[in-house]
């Protein structure tokens, strides 16, 4: 299957499968700026409501089919099953042709085989979520990454970091005035970015569950971008534009990336008082260009617009 770019995810909004306005979001009548939507049958649905949620999901997909399928400019659509047994059932629904893939909750080495056996439809992409106690162990993450590369690699768009569940493993909840990086997640997120990123996986950032402090969300997003994360879960529609604006690329990064990717670039050169080395910075530059493709470029600050742009120069 041909996977789309993980940068296409942008802000990912989760909606309980019991909601009656899912179709409105799918067709852009609500939250038209949304890039990706997850219909959740797991933590967002109480056990007593599972049957109702499954029925509602079937009705949602039937309505999509009756309208000739999803719009080309609508959000990507994923379903998060409750467990591998539920995924096995959904995997065989013909109506899943209108879904891009599954979000796999609480993936670990102990249940990987069950998920591999359940999600056999090759047309469905996968986004495993890292949210179990094993995630705190770098060795376990190396092993999980290797196992994923061996069995499901070609279907994985990105790995999602389940911040709330991981904090729950420690009996913690974030301080609303602080970013997640001020908690033990300040160790976990960079560790996962290194361990899983080195194996070729893209990762998305945990949710920011506070609505009254968008300034702290912006600080957290800056740290997410610093760690190379490609998107972020949104808890509320009001966060969507904030997240997607943070994914936009600065003009200076865009220009540096273009110069690094230029086939005639020097082996080492200086641009805007920073050293650029194409052999070292090539992958960073490709990521910047991909982010810009999906999210655009930030307007240049006045200081750059007013001054002449400094040209790249070879380092002698």
Q: How far is CA 66 from the centre of its chain?
A: 29
Q: Is 66 annotated as a binding residue?
A: no
Q: Distance of CA 18 to CAs 23, 28, 42, 53, Å?
A: 12, 19, 11, 5
91-145 tens-digit pLDDT:
999 999 999 999 999 999 999 999 999 999 999 999 999 999 999 999 999 999 9
Q: Tokens 């599954």, residue? A: 102
Q: How far is CA 128 from the centre of its chain?
A: 11
Spatial CB neighbours of 70, under 8 Å, sequence gap ≥ 6: 26, 27, 64, 77, 98
**Burial class of residue 215 in the structure, from the number of CB atoms within 10 Å of its CB (0-12 exposed, 13-18 middle, 19+ buried):** exposed
Using CA atoms, how far apart are residues 224 and 243, in angstroms rounded to an integer? 10
69-79 tens-digit pLDDT:
999 999 999 99
Percent helix, strand, coil in the chain, to 5, is 45, 15, 40
93-106 tens-digit pLDDT:
999 999 999 999 99
Dihedrals φ, ψ of 159, to 5°? -100, 135
| Domains present along the chain, CATH in parentheses | 6-246 (3.20.20.60), 251-314 (no CATH)
pTM: 0.93
Q: Is the pLDDT of residue 312 over 90?
A: no
């Amino acid at each position: 299957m041909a996977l789309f770019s993980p940068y296409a995810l942008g802000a990912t909004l989760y909606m309980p499968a019991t909601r009656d306005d899912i179709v409105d979001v799918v067709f852009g009548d609500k939250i038209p700026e949304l890039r990706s939507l997850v219909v959740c049958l797991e933590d967002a649905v109480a056990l007593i409501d599972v049957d109702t949620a499954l029925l509602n999901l079937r009705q949602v997909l039937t309505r999509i089919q009756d309208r000739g399928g999803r719009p080309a400019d609508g959000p990507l659509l994923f379903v998060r099953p409750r467990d591998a047994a539920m995924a096995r059932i959904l995997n065989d629904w013909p109506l899943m042709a209108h879904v891009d893939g599954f979000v796999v909750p609480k993936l670990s080495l102990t249940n990987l085989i069950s998920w591999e056996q359940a999600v056999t439809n090759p047309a469905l992409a996968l986004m495993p979520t890292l949210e179990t106690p094993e995630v705190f162990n770098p060795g376990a993450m190396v092993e999980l990454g290797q196992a994923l590369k061996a069995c499901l690699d070609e279907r994985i768009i990105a790995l999602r970091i389940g911040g709330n569940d991981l904090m729950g493993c420690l009996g913690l909840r974030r301080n609303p005035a602080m970013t997640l990086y001020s908690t033990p997640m300040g160790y976990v997120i960079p560790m996962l970015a290194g361990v899983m990123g080195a194996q070729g996986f893209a990762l998305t950032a945990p949710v920011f569950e506070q609505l009254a402090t968008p300034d702290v969300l912006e600080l957290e997003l800056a740290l997410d971008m610093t760690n190379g994360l490609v998107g972020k879960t949104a808890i509320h529609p009001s966060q969507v534009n904030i997240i997607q604006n943070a994914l936009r690329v600065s003009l200076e990064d865009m220009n540096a990336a273009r110069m690094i990717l230029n086939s005639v670039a020097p082996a080492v050169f200086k641009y805007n008082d920073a050293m650029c080395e194409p052999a070292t910075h090539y992958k960073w530059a490709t990521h910047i260009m991909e982010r810009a493709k999906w999210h655009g470029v930030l307007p240049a600050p006045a200081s750059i617009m007013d001054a002449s742009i400094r040209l790249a120069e070879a380092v002698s």
